[in-house]
Amino acid sequence: MRSNKIAVIGDKDIVLAFKAVGMDVYPSSSAAQSADTLKSIANKYSIVFITEDLARDNNQLIERYKSRTYPAVIPIPPPSGSTGYGMEGIRADVERAVGTDILFNKED
């Protein structure tokens, strides 16, 4: 059964901020550790936020969850600012659906 809470996977320093808001947090510092965490909680939560650097390292695992309705695995930016990984995801979606990048081409 899926819990109706939200999970956050990320560096210990920043996940505490989400804990204060009432989300469940899973501190994780390495890619392997976050992969294990993600696998074990994937069926428990409907939304999992994961920091961009960890998401980038676990790209293949996250790709697997993409075709399912739940959980929604969503990358969030680290405190140092976005690395562009999240935007890349949107761009990949647009390219897959439309065949060409129609949202971002103005900036390139």
Assigned token pair, 52: 């961009």
Give the SS3 label for residue 59: helix
Q: Is 87 in the site for another protein (CB under 8 A)?
A: yes
Question: Which of 49, 50, 54, 58 is close enough to bind another protein by CB under 8 A?
Answer: 49
Its sign, for the CA torsion 49, 55, 58, 60, is: positive
| Secondary element (H or E) of residue 20 | helix 12-21
Return the number of the residue (32 or 82) whose C-beta is nearest another protein.
Answer: 82
Q: Are 18 and 8 in contact (CB under 8 A)?
A: yes
Q: Is 66 in the site for another protein (CB under 8 A)?
A: yes
Considering only the stretches 28-36, 53-61, 69-77, report the one whose residues sit in contact with another protein under the rule CB under 8 A: 69-77
Q: To which residue do tokens 């690395």 refer?
A: 83
CB atoms within 10 A of CB 78: 17
Question: Which of 53, 56, 61, 86 is close enough to bind another protein by CB under 8 A?
Answer: 86
Residues that bind another protein (CB under 8 A): 2, 4-6, 13-14, 16-23, 46-47, 49, 66-67, 69-70, 72, 74, 76-82, 86-87, 89-90, 93-94, 96-98, 102-103
